[in-house]
Amino acid sequence: QTQRGLATISSSLDRRIKKEKMSEAEKTAVLARITTSTELASLSDCDLIVEAATENLELKLKIFSQLDSIAKEGAILASNTSSISITRIAAATKRSSQVIGMHFFNPVPVMALVDLVAGRETSDETRRIVAALAESIGKTAVNVRNSPGFVVNRMLCPMINEAVFALGEGLATAAEIDEAMKLGANHPIGPLALCDLIGLDVQL
């Protein structure tokens, strides 16, 4: 499984090389900085841990409880959740001031935005550190209230739902609905194709 992940990263870097945005030497240097593991214990010395499990509250609570027990004092625990309450996730730990939402958008190498979502007890220092990290990797961070869907997904999900309703009502074909939004609203991808990319399990 870790090898499959590395292969995906390598393929993504190859696309950057093809577009002349990266050299072979830079790719080699990037891959050399990546350490893979399937054991949570290997994260014990990390300053920041970003959880990116599927959108399942019970699973995330279990992961954060385990991370809290193995992470060093002062380590920040971030969640890539797209909709789940950071306050609820933080409650699974004894370091709620160091828990924050760090929601990246798909595809991560392309999309510039990161939602920074503070829970009820997230400290200003935690927010500052994570915002600085986001900036250092070329992302634009926006501070978002801990509310379902945050900002983008709160508006995006109703749009996707309307596209599904339009399809169900026979307003147009799936391809036509997507093409209409791409050409009429200047979206890079249509709502139905985006729903497939996100995954129906997450969207529902």
Q: CA 157, CA 200: separation in Å to the nearest integer?
A: 11
Is the preceding omega at residue 107 within 30 degrees of 0, hence cis? Answer: yes
DSSP code at position 134: H
Given the residues 103, 118, 134, 192, the one annotated as active site: 103
Helical ranges in 38-173 per DSSP H: 57-70, 86-90, 124-136, 152-168
Q: CA 107, CA 27: separation in Å to the nearest integer?
A: 19
103 an active-site residue? yes
DSSP code at position 40: G
For 80, residues 6+ apart whose C-beta sits below 8 A from its C-beta are: 50, 51, 52, 101, 102, 103, 104
Catalytic residue positions, numbered? 103
